[in-house]
Structure 1
Amino acid sequence: MTAASTGTIASFHLIRYAGVDAMPFMAFDRPVLRGTAGLSFWRLLGTGRGRSMTLGADLRRWALFAVWDAEPALDRFLASSPVAARWRDAAEEAWHVRLAPLGSRGRWGGRDPFAGHAGTGRGTRGGSGPVAVLTRASIRASRLAAFYRSVPDVDALLRRQDGCVASVGAGEWPLVRQATFSLWEDESAIARFAYHGDAHHDVMRRVRREGWYAEELFARFAPYGSEGTWDGRNPLAPDLPP
């Protein structure tokens, strides 16, 4: 695993609660996160049942994507925040990963989450080692039907894609504001999916040609410090049993 760069880092947290609709926790967590020192950007996300952006929702599993001014701010949050305490006490399963930004383009809610931050380590990763990818899009209402018709083929490609370690579809608003967080063996695996997978390549051409997205963000990270399990295993610790 990669050691953290100095300055800004990100984190992704995937939490599954046992036998409950966890939606109320979203409301409880927002004011706490707004008051968290050192947390410069965050989004609470519902998750889908598949590996990409599907119509089905898993009401017991939720995610947090966060950008921190520095790693000690994340350490303090995990040690003392009531949000993190509930993850420890009430979650059936939880997985956490720290993310050193490699590069990003686009905006999320009108903002670049990494704008103005120095020392992120962007561009320092070579071609080896695992890479995390976050894609996020705000889909135009007039393009929703076309978007969701395209999802099954891309979902099927992800399931059989060599080099895709794990992936989850997520979103802020049902149907319209969608995201995918995925883990890849290396940069080459991402390139094979992006440029040589016919289903994905065809969809991206239509996205550009037909203007499906009102806003989008694509970000790459070097993941490190992975803890816990995702669907029964730590996807960044392949020596662990499934």
Structure 2
Amino acid sequence: MSQVAPRLTTLTIFGIRSGHIRWGLAQMGTSGSKLQQVPGLLFFKLLGSGHGRGFSIKPNFRRYGLMCTWQSEAAADAFLQDSDLIHEYRQHTDEIWTVKLQPYQQHGQWDGQAPFSPALPENYISGPIAVLTRASINLKALPSFWRFVPKTSTALDTAEGLICSIGLGELPLVRQATFSVWESAEAMKKYAYKNPLHQEVMRRTRSENWYSEELFARFKPINSQGLWAGRDPLEYLRNYNTLTSSIADRLNRKA
């Protein structure tokens, strides 16, 4: 029996040019119909962003995200390299960065779907790991959520082993997500389970029923391209993949 390939996921971050902010904001309402026509695109979310590394009540109108899952890598590449929509974005941006991801695991749903399935057959062993946390916040919980959560986002500024992170959202205040990449799962877990602010948020999430829907997913970053804040934050990833490929080749030759 042939093995089903893991669901290829991409996250693209757009840096909108100065003077093009109105255009960037408009895409949240107009690009969806164009994306629905993209061959091989299975699931997508247009995302705004906030200031800082995590959840933020203050929007950033210069930075937007697009998260997609794909039928194949060829479909993803055709869209990201040659589509009319991406060409249009290039005319209004000064930076575009894309990371390709394969899911290790996911828990929960996003709009009633489990978009990051099937997952990789192997478990995480070592190397960089990406994490997506996403939630629809109960309206009654909004005051409590926004009183506590920004403190944990500030704690990301000093988190050991964090390569990059961004707070994203489908709707201001109520449909929020954080995407982050860590040097290792150990670094990610140290922040998640040993940081007292994060622990307090996790406790209140359950005890006060903050979320009407939530999703947590971990991914293997496999490739990145472009610039985010003036650099490719996962140049580290290319170096890591080159090293591991070299080691694997040497072991195969010895065998």
Is the TM value for this pair above 0.5? Answer: yes
Give the secondary structure class of the aligned counterpart of 2:146: helix
SS in structure 2 at match of 1:30: helix
Per-residue displacement from partner, 1:83-112 (whole Å, max 9, x unpaired)? 211233331111100001110010001111
**Cα displacement (A) at 1:27:** 2.6
* 8 Å CA contact 1:101, 1:122 repeated in 2: no
Structure 1 equivalent of residue 143 of structure 2 = 145
Cα offset for 1:209?
Answer: 1.2
Letter in 1 for 2:220: A
Cα displacement string for residues 199-235 of structure 1 (whole angstroms, at most 9, x for unaligned residues): 0011101101111000000011111211111111111
**Structure 1 residues without counterparts, runs of 5 or longer:** none
Kindly indicate whether the alpha-carbon contact (under 8 Å) linking 1:94 and 1:228 is maintained by their aligned counterparts in 2.
Answer: yes
Match of 1:74, SS? helix
Q: For structure 2, which runs of at least 5 residues remain unmatched after alignment?
A: 239-255
Q: What residue number does 1:16 align with?
A: 15
Q: Which residue of 2 aligns with 1:64?
A: 66
Alignment-derived partner of residue 209 in structure 1: 207
TM-score (norm 1): 0.91
Match of 1:28 in 2: 30
Aligned pairs (5 A) from 1:80-229? 80-115=82-117, 117=118, 120-126=119-125, 128-229=126-227
1:178-197 C-alpha deviation (Å, 9 max, x unpaired): 00011100110111011111
Identity %: 40
Higher helix share: 2
Change (3 A) 1:201 1:101: same
Counterparts of 1:162 and 1:233, CA distance in 2: 20
Instruction: Decide whether aligned partners of structure 1 residues 142 and 84 sit closer, same or farther in structure 2, where only a CA change above 3 A counts.
Output: same
Q: Which amino acid aligns with 1:209?
A: S
Helix, strand or coil: the match of 2:200? helix
Give the partner amino acid of 1:191: K
Q: Give RMSD over aligned pairs.
A: 1.7
Matched, 1:75 2:73: no
**Aligned residue pair count:** 232
Higher mean C-alpha displacement, 93-102 vs 83-92: 83-92
Give runs of ≥4 in structure 1 deviating > 3 Å: none
Task: Give 1:238 deviation, angstroms.
Answer: 4.1
Q: Deviations over 1:52-90 (max 9, x none)?
A: 111110112110011111211101112332221123333
